[in-house]
Structure 1
Amino acid sequence: MTSAAGTAGGNGAPVRRVLVLMNPGAGRRSVLHTTRRRLQQHGDPQVELLIPDPSDQTEQLAQAQAAVGQGVDAVVVCGGDGMVSLGAHLVARQGVPLGIVPTGSGNDFARACGIPRRYTAALNRVLEALKQPELPVRGVDALRLTLFCAESGATLSGPKWVANSVNIGFDAQVNQRANAQRRVPRKLRYLTALVREVPHFHAEEFVLQAEAGVAERHASSLVCIQNGSSIGGGIPLAPTARVDDGWAEVSHIEPLSRAGLVALFPLLMLRMHRLLRPLTTRRVRHLRVEVPGQVPVFADGDELHSGHGAGAAGVVVEVELIPGALLLL
């Protein structure tokens, strides 16, 4: 694969330009330092690594967008699902491959794609791919999300590319609480937040419209649109979901008691979905969800809507599954 910049190395061969994005908040800092060192010591004179400083995420994004605009041959992200989502937003439908080195607490998209979650194994795989004369790639799907104000119809966010999942309701509120628990060890934040959220949670009423069908009103504990099979660091909410089958899976769970909410995720982890009669999952390519104003919306672990300040009318989440939108190393 020739360099998008068209420059040449010492032997006249084209230089492959690779943009590397890191999340300093994901994983141990020693892991991030080791990853940076391994990449910088890659040793291939025909690979030019572009590594923006990750300490200022706004500046990192600006530099990343500029680099992609000038032309890169691949983008490698080191972090969790949020960083994967950032990488997807940069390269979706651009024909630029995306490499993933999972160092986050969830890594659900990496799990769905069969990428090793031991960072050394994943990094070795990426480095090996970059050495190939032609980059080995695999096409996978992605979700394209737009967030609207329900009252005015104005666009609040997007279009945004989402790799793994869009979370609305209980799971989003757990994520919101987990992100605020800075003193809790990263691996325990989701579980701790889950336990603390249950006493305060109550179901809400959503309006779901799949494809061009009839809008359906549901009282639900959560609504989740998935490209990958798991959420929350390995909870298989939609175990039959595949990242390359051209479908998303939407799950909604009818109102549950507090005891039901406590039992929900352990039963999902044990893949005892048949015991969860309130759980309904179906395949869609396009979904529109009317969300009450006080309900948060998350995508790939990042908050898109806090559930505050949207007014009684709330927001509308529109999600479309785009087959083959991403090329993975």
Structure 2
Amino acid sequence: MTSDVTLFVNPTAGRGRGARAAQPAAAALRAAGFSVRTVLGTDAADALTRAREAVRDGTGALIAVGGDGMANLALQAVAGTRTPLGLVAVGTGNDYARALGLPVLAPEEAGRAAAEALKGARLRELDLGRIGDRWFGSVLATGFDSRVNDRGNRMRWPRGRFKYDLAILAELATFKPTPFRIALDDGPVRDIDATLIAVGNGTSYGGGMRICADAEMDDGLFDITVVGDCSRTTLLKVFPKVYKGTHLSHPKVTVHRAAKISLEAAATTGYADGEPLGPLPLTAECVPGAVGVLVP
């Protein structure tokens, strides 16, 4: 095991927490005997290029400092390689780290946990979702939730989580189910009207919304949650249950398991780990053991 590791830092994560978190995380790794290099990048594309260079040069681990967006960017560099991924989760949502039981909003503790995992060679081999050449670790969102993201991303005010609460209210005002075409594995194409379809490698998105509550990250399958053609009133009743995962028992909600899914819907964006993929159609595949993650 090389003693050189790379901190992959998003300085803007969590309203600046990313930049502040890098120092205590690095200090904890150095105290454990590791040599730490920091990668920032001028933008996402430049940062990813630098992260891929670190992986290619044989870094002992790529440790993402930020939120789910930074974890997702790091996955693009380490997926399919033998370089382990570490997480210092200091963003807004941190769903990937939460699903793995890693420290959240505690950078020094996260740095120590990564160091201990490296010294003990403790890796958890996890599946990833793949859409073309893009990878994701948690949830692919389409439908109502992706429209909320679209609207929230267009809003300049307010900032933070409250912006997305307002986006939800605005989308509810014009809410109607979306006509989807869906195919699971190599099965037939079906036409359905759905409020949303969430494809879960992990369990949650949006900072703890357990939309795919029973998903396992190492079973080779997606958990696919389909919220059917419910009314606005039904959606308002079901929505709060998503934080505990109890929405899965509602009669308008069905869960499917598959290793591959194809989705098509007009004027609908796909978001993976909270990051926009572009408009549907798309096909996602579950790739077993695509990444090794440092775990306590």
Q: Which amino acid aligns with 1:323?
A: P
Equivalent residue letter for 1:276: H
Find the counterpart in structure 1 of residue 115 from structure 2: 127
Equivalent-residue separation in structure 2 for 1:106 and 1:67 (angstroms): 26
**1:151-190 correspondence runs (5 A):** 159-190=133-164
Q: 1:142 aligns with which of 121, 128, 131?
A: 128
Moved over 6 A (4+): none
Write the letter of the residue equivalent to 1:167: A
Task: Return the offset for 1:32.
Answer: 2.7
Counterpart position of 1:326: 291
Give the counterpart of 2:103 among 116, 136, 159.
116
Relative to its length, the structure with more helix (as a share) is 2
Residues 170 and 319 (structure 1), Cα distance of their counterparts in 2 relative to 1, 3 Å cut: same
* Structure 1 range deviating more: 72-81 or 18-27: 18-27
TM-aligned CA distance change 1:272 to 1:113, over 3 Å: same
1:300 to 270, 273, 278: 273
Contact 1:21 1:54 in 2 (8 A): no
Say whether 1:263 aligns with 2:237.
Answer: yes
Distance 2:86 2:92 in 1: 18
How many angstroms apart in 2 are the aligned matches of 1:78 and 1:182?
25
Q: CA deviation at 1:80?
A: 1.5
Query: In structure 2, what is the equivalent of residue 6 of structure 1?
Result: none
Distance 1:213 1:45, change over 3 A: closer
Matching residue's letter, 1:200: T
The amino acid of 1:99's aligned partner reads G
Q: Provide structure 2 residue ranges, at least 5 long, that are not aligned to the other structure.
A: none
Aligned to 1:212: 186
In the alignment, the residues of structure 2 paired with residue 25 and residue 128 of structure 1 have an alpha-carbon distance, to the nearest angstrom, of 27
The 2-side partners of 1:256 and 1:168 are apart by 16
Q: 1:45 to 1:323 in 2, by over 3 A?
A: closer
Is residue 286 of structure 1 aligned with residue 272 of structure 2? Answer: no
Sort the Cα spacing of 1:24 and 1:190 in 2 relative to 1 into closer, same or farther, 3 A: same
- Counterpart of 2:22 (choices 28, 36, 53) is 36
What residue is the counterpart of 1:153 in the other structure?
A: none
Give the structure 2 partner of residue 17 of structure 1.
4
Q: 2:39 is matched with which residue: 36, 48, 52?
A: 52
SS at match of 2:39: coil
Q: CA deviation at 1:87?
A: 1.2
TM-score by structure 2 length?
0.91
- The partner residue of 2:55 within 65, 68, 84 is 68
- Cα distance in 2, alignment partners of residues 59 and 270 from structure 1: 38
TM-score, structure 1 normalization: 0.82
- Whether the aligned pair in 2 keeps the contact of 1:235 and 1:265 (CA below 8 Å) is no
Give me the CA root mean square deviation. Answer: 2.0
Distance apart, 1:274 and its partner CA? 5.6
Identity of matched residues, %: 29
Q: Secondary structure at the match of 1:122?
A: helix
Gaps of 5+ in 1: 4-15, 147-158, 308-314
Q: Which digits, 9 at most, give the CA deviation of each residue in 1:152-187, with x for residues without a partner?
A: xxxxxxx21111111111111112222333432423
Structure 1 pair 212/52, CA: closer, same or farther in 2 (3 Å)? same
Q: Which moved more, 1:111-120 or 1:220-229?
A: 111-120
Whole-angstrom distance in 2 between the partners of 1:328 and 1:275: 31
Bigger Rg, structure 1 or 2? 1
Q: CA deviation at 1:270?
A: 4.4
Question: For the structure 1 residues 45 and 233, does the alpha-carbon distance in structure 2 shift closer, same or farther, using more than 3 Å as the test?
Answer: closer
Partner AA of 1:82 in structure 2 = G
The DSSP-based 3-state class of the residue aligned with 1:217 is: strand
